[in-house]
Structure 1
Amino acid sequence: MKRPVSSDQAPAAVGPYSQAIRTGGLIFVSGQIPLDPATGELVQGPVEAQVRRALANVEAVLRACGATLAHVVKATIYLRSMADFPEVNRVWAQIFPDPPPARSTVAVAELPKGALVEVDVIAVDPSPSA
């Protein structure tokens, strides 16, 4: 059975999808771009600010499930420019607990609302029966 998850501490979905789905002991968090949940506006600035906001949005959705970034087992990062890869790695190392999750990074031509980065994750559900 799949159960939708939502958090008002993360931006509302910008399309017909759930912020996350819980199923089979896992949490699948939809791609989060660096939107400020209070305003719905894209966080401006360098990729560092954008990846921090995107991860804060991921974390807010995980909190709605009783999970944290420590529960993340797989992440995918979508970057508009691979030139930002070193900076994203620096921020990632500061934010994720050791050991960091498995990860893929993909360069894309464009992201919603002109974002520089988008992040989606799969996490272990700390209370799969919830």
Structure 2
Amino acid sequence: MHRFLNDPTLAVPVFPGSHIAMDGHYLFLSGLTVTDIQGGDAVVGDIAEETRWVMRRLSRMLEYAGASLAHVVRVDIHLTDLDTIHTMDAAYAEFFTYHSYPARTCTESPRLSGGANVEITLMARQPDPTSAD
């Protein structure tokens, strides 16, 4: 059975969707920008800080759904300027174990919601509640 959740610390989505969709095997988190996070717009323009803010919130969303960043298997990243990829990569890598990174796509998208410079969405394996992973 599919379950759909909204992170209670974020505004209810203005689009017809949910923050988190669960299918019993995987967790799918909707794309998130720093401007979706209260106070996050204060760091717009600093790609490293935008990335950190979004990754911290995605981590909390996974915890809310019973998982962690260790369960992430795929990430999609959209940057307004692909020339910032190395700065974004350095901040992004802080959230994963070295050489144990999820599969990833990174594209340039000229306009992101709220004027943010990075949007990140991810998919994670839903932990087995009977396992100690």
| TM-score, normalised via structure 2 length | 0.86
Give the match for residue 55 of structure 1.
55
Q: Is the 8 A contact 1:73 1:101 kept in 2?
A: yes
Change (3 A) 1:110 1:27: same
Structure 2 portions without partners, runs of 5+ = none
Deviation at 1:127, TM superposition (A): 4.0
Letter in 1 for 2:125: V
Q: How does 1:1-130 map to 2 (within 5 A)?
A: 1-35=1-35, 37-39=37-39, 42=41, 43-98=43-98, 99-127=100-128
Q: State the 1:94 CA deviation.
A: 1.3
Offset, 1:80 = 0.2
Contact 1:11/1:57 (CA < 8 Å) preserved in 2? no
Specify every segment of 5 or more residues in structure 1 that has no aligned partner in the other structure, as ranges. none
Asked if 1 retains the 8 angstrom alpha-carbon contact of 2:82 and 2:108, the reply is yes
Per-residue deviation at 1:29? Answer: 0.3
d(CA) in 1 for partners of 2:113, 2:83: 19
Rounded Cα–Cα distance in structure 2 between residues aligned with 1:113 and 1:21: 23
| Structure 1 Cα separation of the partners of residues 93 and 57 of structure 2 | 17
User: C-alpha deviations, 1:30-66, integer Å up to 9, x for none?
Assistant: 0010136445x52434101101111122112111111
Shift of 1:92: 1.5
How many corresponding residue pairs?
128
CA distance 1:106–1:128, change in 2 (3 Å): farther
Query: Which of structure 1's runs of 4+ aligned residues deviate more than 4 A?
Result: none
| Structure 2 counterpart SS, 1:14 | coil
- 2:79/2:118 contact within 8 Å kept: yes
CA RMSD for the aligned pairs? 2.0
Alignment check: 8 A CA contact 2:13 2:19 kept: yes
Deviates more, 1:2-11 or 1:65-74: 2-11
TM-score (norm 1): 0.88
Cα deviation for residue 108 of structure 1 reads 0.6
